[in-house]
Amino acid sequence: MKTVFGPVSSWRFGRSVGVDPLCRNACSFDCIYCQVGPTLDKTIQNDVFISTDRIKEDLKRILPGVSADIVTISGYGEPTLAENLDEIIEAVKEVTDLPVAILTNSSTLSLGKMRRILNEIDVVVAKLDAPDESLFEEINRPVKGLHFGNILKWIKKFKSSFNGRLELQTMFIEKNKDYAGELAKIAAEIQPDSVYINTPLRHSLEGPLSESQMSEIEGYFEGLNVSSVYNSKKYRSYKEMLKRRSIEG
């Protein structure tokens, strides 16, 4: 079981050391394109999946020896389900001064406790694949009780109070490709620091869109800081971007 892995080259982040606080396929969604496969444990319940001590040990063993640009909390499921996420973030910060990012499906942003925990992170990448409830149900297949409108409301509220970078991530597949205009409109309302448009290029039950389809989709996001998986030439230096942000206030 690997709680800390990499660094791996990420089209978004450059050389990224991954931290997996779950090490199992537990998620509040069961996205039809999920590259991990169908969700085995579909839940919104918090739990301590891996002890903080175990993660801390692995961080201390691996992090000091690697050259990386960022630490990304992600893995095989939804990382905000980890009840000890706050301790894990603290442990990362004890071991390194690299920026810390998290990839979340946005389903727990409605929880005040979670928003406070995420406030300790430099970069939050929030998933938004659908512009309405029915497509949300069809693509993300959430646990009962999660609704598109509520998730969107809390992404917007979180953006307005968060001091770090809020980035949006949208996976485009056959089912939502014709809704790029609506998704871009919603993204413009949120005003994220960046938008990543992706399509499943790695193993997935859903095939990827072509380069020209993604380029057409990218056009809808004009005016936003958008990057597509097909034309991510280089990673941005998060250290530089975060430094610039603190200078600009």
Interface contacts to ligand SF4, rule CB under 6 A: 27, 29-31, 34, 36, 39, 77-78, 105
Nearest distance, CB of residue 177 and ligand SF4, angstroms: 17
Nearest distance, CB of residue 25 and ligand SF4, angstroms: 7
Under 8 Å CB-to-CB from 11, ≥6 apart: which residues? 229, 232, 235
Nearest distance, CB of residue 203 and ligand SF4, angstroms: 12
Please tell me the distance from the alpha carbon of residue 157 to that of residue 248, in angstroms, as a whole number.
22
Nearest distance, CB of residue 202 and ligand SF4, angstroms: 11
When the beta carbons of 28 and 52 are compared against ligand SF4, the nearer one is 28
Measured CA to CA in angstroms, residue 165 lies from 16, 25, 47 at distances of 17, 27, 27
When the beta carbons of 96 and 129 are compared against ligand SF4, the nearer one is 129
Nearest distance, CB of residue 37 and ligand SF4, angstroms: 8
When the beta carbons of 36 and 111 are compared against ligand SF4, the nearer one is 36
When the beta carbons of 98 and 200 are compared against ligand SF4, the nearer one is 200
When the beta carbons of 31 and 124 are compared against ligand SF4, the nearer one is 31
Please tell me the distance from the alpha carbon of residue 128 to that of residue 179, in angstroms, as a whole number.
12
When the beta carbons of 38 and 219 are compared against ligand SF4, the nearer one is 38
Nearest distance, CB of residue 76 and ligand SF4, angstroms: 7
Please tell me the distance from the alpha carbon of residue 1 to that of residue 8, in angstroms, as a whole number.
17
Nearest distance, CB of residue 32 and ligand SF4, angstroms: 9
When the beta carbons of 77 and 208 are compared against ligand SF4, the nearer one is 77
